[in-house]
Amino acid sequence: MYKQYSAAPKKFGGHTSTFKTKPRFGGGTKKIFSNNSKPRFGSGGIRHGVVGKKRFGSSRGERIDFSRFIKKGVHVEEKPYVSKHTFADFPFNPQLHKNIKVAGFIDPRPIQDQAIPTVLLGRDVFGMANTGTGKTAAFLLPLIEKIYKTKGMGKREMALIMAPTRELALQIESDFKILSFGLGMFSVACVGGLPIMKQIREIKLGVSFVIGTPGRLRDLIDKKVLNLSTCHSVVLDEADRMLDMGFRDEMVYIIGKIAKERQTLFFSATLSPDIKKLTEHYLKEPAFISVISGETAKNIDQDVVRFRTKEEKLEKLNEILKKDGSDKVLIFREMKHSVDSLAKELHAFGFKVGGIHGDKRSRERIRILDSFKKGHINILIATDVAARGLDIPDVTHVINYDVPQTYDTYVHRIGRTGRSGKKGNALTFVPA
C-alpha cells in the first residue's frame, strides 16, 4: 500500500515541488454536509453494523473489511480552483492554439495548469493524477510544441508514450490527432490485437509520436523496426497500472533503448514503493505535481448489497438497473467467462448491455466501448484489465458484482463515477 497524502479534491489544489523535498498539497476551506439517507435496499440487502464482521480474503493475501465499501456521499463546498494561466498564456504556435479551441478546452485544469509550464521548461515530471483529470493534454500539448520546434530546426525527434492498455493507447492517439492537426506530425499506435504489419509500415514511413503498450513496443524493438535512438521525450502514463499488470521488465527494457539525454514524464495514481524506485532511478530532479485528493471521491455514495444465493444476487442487480438514475452503469467482474455469462443474462432481461475482457478481439472491444460512450448501450460489464485506463464520461453507477481482490482495485474501479463534480454511486455485492 502506498502512503496516502491529504490533498485538495481531485479537481482542485496541488503544488509543484522538486522530488528532493517532501511534497505538500494544498486545499481550500470546506464545509461538508452529510447525506444521512437510509439504505435503499430492504431486508437481506444492506445491513449496517454487521458488515465489519466479515472480510474478504484475496488471492494476493489482502483482507478487506466490508465496512470500507460503505460511505455516504457528501456535498462539498470548495473554494474554486483558480488557474494561474489561460491556454493563451502558453507559448504554443498559432495552429496549436487553434487546435486547443477546436478540442473545446476553455480553462486549464489543475494538472494542465501546473504541468504544462514545467514540461515546456524541459524538466522531468512526476504527476499524481487519476484518469479523467486532463493529464493526457497536460503532456501532449507541451510535447507537440517541443517536437514542432525541433522539426522547424531541421531535426528529427520522436516522442514515446507508454500506456497499460490498448484502449488507453488508442484514446491517447485519438487526442493526439485532434491536437496536432495541421502541424505535419504523424503518429502510430503500437498495441497488441491489431495488425502488426500496418504498425511496421507506419513506423517505416516516419512518425513523430509512438504511442503503445509495453508488450507490443518491445516486440517492435526486438524486430529492429522501432529505433528509439532519436527519442528524447518519454511518457509513462498510468505507470502504477503497468507495474500491476506485470510490465516492469518491458518498461525497464524500453527505457533502456531511449537516448540518455531525454525528458521523462511519469504519471501515476499512486506512489507505491515500486513506483518510487522507478522515479528515483529514471527521473532527474523532477517536479512533483499532485491533483490526488484522498482515497475516494467525496461525492461518490458507496454501499454494499447483501445476497444469499446466486438467484437473489441476479434479482437484486436487476432491481438496481431498473431504478431511475441508473443511466450509465459500469459492472466489474473478476473472470472473463463471468463477463460473458452476466451479459447474456442481462440481455435476456431486456437490457442494452455489452461486455469486454482480454479474450475479445481488439476491434470488438473498441466497438463495444464506443457504443457505451455514445449511449447505444447503457450497461458495460468488464474485467479490471480490460477497463484499466479508460476515461468514460458520465458513468452514474459502478457496480462491483464480484468483490475486488484489493482495496486499491476498489478505489480504482469506483473512480470511474462521480467525475467533474457530479454525484456518483458505487455498490459492492457481498455475501450475507
pLDDT in tens, 201-240: 999 999 999 999 999 999 999 999 999 999 999 999 989 8
Residue (of 396, 250, 419, 408) closest to 321 by Cα position: 396
For residue 315, pLDDT beyond 90: yes
Measuring CA to CA, how many Å separate 99 from each of 43, 109, 118, 159? 55, 17, 21, 19
Whether the pTM exceeds 0.85: the reply is no
- At residue 366, the pLDDT reads 85
What is the fold of 87-290? Rossmann fold (3.40.50)
Three cell numbers written together for 57: 480474503
According to DSSP, residue 208 is labeled S
For residue 375, pLDDT beyond 70: yes
Question: Which of these ranges, 33-42, 82-91, 150-159, 215-224, has the smallest mean pLDDT?
Answer: 33-42
Banded pLDDT at 35 (limits 50, 70, 90) = very low
For residue 40, pLDDT beyond 90: no
- At residue 38, the pLDDT reads 37
Measuring CA to CA, how many Å separate 197 from each of 152, 188, 400? 30, 12, 38
Domain boundaries defined on the chain: 38-71+295-431, 87-290
Would 38-71+295-431 and 87-290 be classified into the same CATH topology? yes
- At residue 74, the pLDDT reads 59
Compute the average pLDDT of residues 131-137: 84
Measuring CA to CA, how many Å separate 124 from each of 121, 145, 149, 263, 302? 9, 16, 19, 6, 37
d(CA 92, CA 88): 8
* Domain 38-71+295-431 is found in CATH 3.40.710.10: no
- At residue 274, the pLDDT reads 87
pLDDT in tens, 146-198: 999 998 777 789 999 999 988 889 999 999 999 999 999 999 999 998 899 99
Residue type, 57: G
Banded pLDDT at 418 (limits 50, 70, 90) = confident
